[in-house]
Amino acid sequence: MSSLPVHTTLDDSAMTGLLERRCALVDDTTKAMKKLSVDQSTMTTMTSSPFTGSWDESSKTTTTRNHLEHSSSTTSASSKRLSPRLDRLLSLPNRKMLTLLNTIRKKDSSSNQEPLDEKTKRTVIGEWKGILAHSPELFMCAWQRSAGRSASIKKTFVNVDASDDEVKIGFSELSGVIQNFFNKIILVQQLDETQMRITCEALGARHIDFVSRGFNSAFWDVFLVCMGEVLSEVLLSYTTDAGRRAEISMACERVFATTVHYMRTGYQERRRKEAKANDKSHDHSPS
């Protein structure tokens, strides 16, 4: 896994497997460290408690050495399984992100996406302008944080064509494009299910054009997590009402998740159509 180049393109199933293996490696290391802690606690008890019978100092020394060697070998074996590129993933925020990514992708794999309920729509539409007025840098912060979590995101979206006019814009400027997209589906389309689905699927399908630059649909999951984190931070100063904060956060995250679901649907549909077209062209090509 450590030999994967930064620009390696993985399909959805491969990326899901990679996330699962990373989470498993983190869990293995955590278990090893917990065992080491338990062994050290056992040694402290053994060397500080009164011993009776034939338990002499040499026995205690031998047993203590055995505990140390066993704990060291266990931790070492687990550590050897981790590639250098995963070292930074062992920090608490990244462990949480990997767990969230895995959960999101498992939920998103279902073809039955529940429509947004009216309460969720009212909450998001009613609060959206206020949130952006309170924190105009919301999308910029989430976009920059995504790049911090995945260097490939920034490499993929540097100097891209953001419109049909083929006007190239920089990575940071794309946060404004993303914000305008959400403004459209929330404020203009009023989260109408049909319009939202068509708009999101069209944008998702367009991302096929970025595959050659290293794009993977897992990037959306990273951004989804970062948006949720930044929104939670913004809401702390937006309102002092904890109940209201929880309601807004949950409603917005449902909208974000639904958006990504429809985008992935459009992305996968275009990919299937292009793969089918390629297969037909190969079938009709002269042998």
Q: Residue 215 in 3-state DSSP?
A: coil
Q: How far apart are CA 71 and CA 33, in angstroms?
A: 9
Print the domain residue range for 232.
Answer: 110-281
Calculate mean pLDDT across residues 268-286: 79
Residue written as tokens 């459009």? Answer: 266
C-alpha pair distances (Å), 22 with each of 6, 149, 251: 16, 14, 30
Do 210 and 156 fall into the same domain?
yes
Residue written as tokens 């917005």? Answer: 252
For 159-172, the pLDDT digits (tens) are 666 554 555 678 88
Contact 266, 203 (CB under 8 A): yes
In a domain? residue 95: no
In a domain? residue 5: no
Number of domains in the chain: 2
Q: What is the CATH number of the domain that holds 164?
A: 1.10.490.10
In a domain? residue 101: no
In a domain? residue 128: yes
Give the model's pLDDT for residue 8.
Answer: 41
For 57-97, the pLDDT digits (tens) are 444 445 445 544 554 444 444 444 444 444 444 344 444 44
User: What are the structure tokens assigned to 276, written together?
Assistant: 């089918």
